[in-house]
Structure 1
Amino acid sequence: MKAIIIDDEPKARKLLETLLKEHCPEITSFSHAEELEIGVEIIKEKKIDLVFLDIEMPKYSGLQILDFFENQIIDFQIIFTTAYNQYAIDAFKLSAVDYLLKPVDYMELKLAVQKAVSLKEQNAITTNLKELKESFKKLSNTKIALDVPRGIIFINHEEILYLEADGMYTTFYLKNGNKELICKPLKHFVDQLKGSAIFYKPHRSYLINIQSIKEFNKKEGGHLLMDNNKLVPISRDKREEFFSMIKELF
């Protein structure tokens, strides 16, 4: 099998290649790429069989790889690699895809490669990668992916208290007390979450989880008291809509 290691860290690429050479004789040739775009070109040019794909990379996340193969036959396997265990999502555990946590354990690596060999022999790759794409779509119905300096984090919709606009940035306030500042405007997330029934925009600067409202407060014309005791304003033109929504839902 021809393999490629796509990872922006040179040491990580070298270490993984060493492990593969020592423990996985099924791999007969190796290619390297430090960026996803370059890796995609090599996959297409050399007809790569197996892709070891880092998730956290500067320009594109490894999770975006399938976007580069729209309407094309996918005849390679993907094994995700990452240093952050929050990416260990059941959606990755499909028969066509495996997931390795850095530092990579050689026994887990051997099992992952053996799984890839087996699936190649069954000619099941394209079907299973289509299933992976569907899993990503289903995942987006309950979780949101946020770009942060260390990579991408996935947050359940229900873990969010509210979002607050800060110019071209948005701050996510979470139920566990954490907050994440994301380099995207609030409108981006309003559009992304409009299909979720638990979010409501009471003010141009806020998007809230209605499950996290503690009370309506008449102070200063009307505010919503959230579970973390934050007062979120309701725009004057939104009050009637808000009360109609509350009556309908509760």
Structure 2
Amino acid sequence: MHVVIIDDEPKARNLLEILIKENCPKITLISSAEDLLSGVELIKQQQPKIVFLDIEMPQHSGLEIFDFIDKEHHNFEIVFTTAYSEYAIKAFELSAVDYLLKPLRTDKLISAIEKAIQNSGKSTINLKLDELQKSLKSANFKKIGLPVADGIKFVNFEDIILLKADGMYTKVSILNASGILISKPLKHFVELLDTIPSFYRPHRSYLINLKYIQEYSKKDGGYILMDNNESVSISKDKKEEFLTIVQNIG
């Protein structure tokens, strides 16, 4: 398997190459470039399976890669390498874009490569990169990328009714659409959506959008009825907090 590293910092390129050689035996050929345009030429010539791409580089950002490569005819996975802020990392995660945070960690590198290999041949990086660029340009995040069997489904926060834990999976209920089962635990979404004020976790198995509450019932120990007619449990220690919140809605 062939990979290309694009990074303007020689030390960063060398370190990544060493880590790959020491920990990823499936990768047999590594090429590198010091800027985006040189990297694009390498990609066109060598057709790698994975491209490790720095974002902040002189002249051209790594996010501009598809300004120089036909979006419809690439066949590689991208793993961004970045020292970006927490805000930017949130944009990466919401857009379901793979990234490695500098300084690099070996376990994260191995995980990223394994994921890229699994996704080989069914890349949706075009769609994900478009959403990432929109998020980075905006002060407000509006969508979340949900990994589904045939790619990524981007959903507006405001269209999510609730998320329900199902073992290591999460069922996402969406307005005017069928529910989606996502192969990530509820904790993943709780962390991603923690800055979105309309989402609330009344129970360890649920994360709900407060705008879709239909009613609260005191029956059977208390539960919430959502607009899609699904009943949501409330933990005993959350009842008082929940009632205070809903009384202040609107």
Taking structure 1 as the reference length, the TM-score comes to: 0.54
Q: Is the 8 A contact 1:161 1:173 kept in 2?
A: yes
CA RMSD of superposed structures (Å): 4.4
How far did 1:177 drift?
3.3
How far did 1:152 drift?
1.1
Q: 1:166 to 1:68 in 2, by over 3 A?
A: closer
CA distance in 2, matches of 1:246, 1:155: 25
How far did 1:218 drift?
1.7
How far did 1:229 drift?
0.6
How far did 1:143 drift?
0.6
How far did 1:92 drift?
3.7
Q: Is the 8 A contact 1:55 1:151 kept in 2?
A: no
What number of residue pairs does the alignment pair up?
A: 169
Name which of 51, 67, 71 aligns with 2:69.
51
Partner of 2:17: none
Q: Match for 1:51: what amino acid?
A: I
CA distance in 2, matches of 1:160, 1:55: 33
The structure with more radius of gyration: 1
Flag structure 2 segments of 5+ consecutive residues without an equivalent.
5-40, 81-94, 104-121
- Matching of residue 36 in structure 1 with residue 54 in structure 2: no
| Cα offsets for 1:165-210 (capped at 9, x unmatched) | 0111111011113111111110110010010011000000000000
Flag structure 1 segments of 5+ consecutive residues without an equivalent.
5-26, 72-81, 94-131
CA distance in 2, matches of 1:205, 1:56: 40
Q: 1:165 to 1:58 in 2, by over 3 A?
A: farther
Q: Is the 8 A contact 1:36 1:65 kept in 2?
A: no
Taking structure 2 as the reference length, the TM-score comes to: 0.54
Q: 1:155 to 1:164 in 2, by over 3 A?
A: same
Aligned structure 1 segments of 4 or more residues deviating by more than 6 angstroms = 54-59, 61-66, 68-71
How far did 1:59 drift?
6.6
Q: Is the 8 A contact 1:56 1:151 kept in 2?
A: no
| Cα offsets for 1:22-42 (capped at 9, x unmatched) | xxxxx9x9335363337x59x
CA distance in 2, matches of 1:204, 1:151: 28
Identity %: 37
Q: 1:239 to 1:135 in 2, by over 3 A?
A: closer
CA distance in 2, matches of 1:194, 1:158: 14
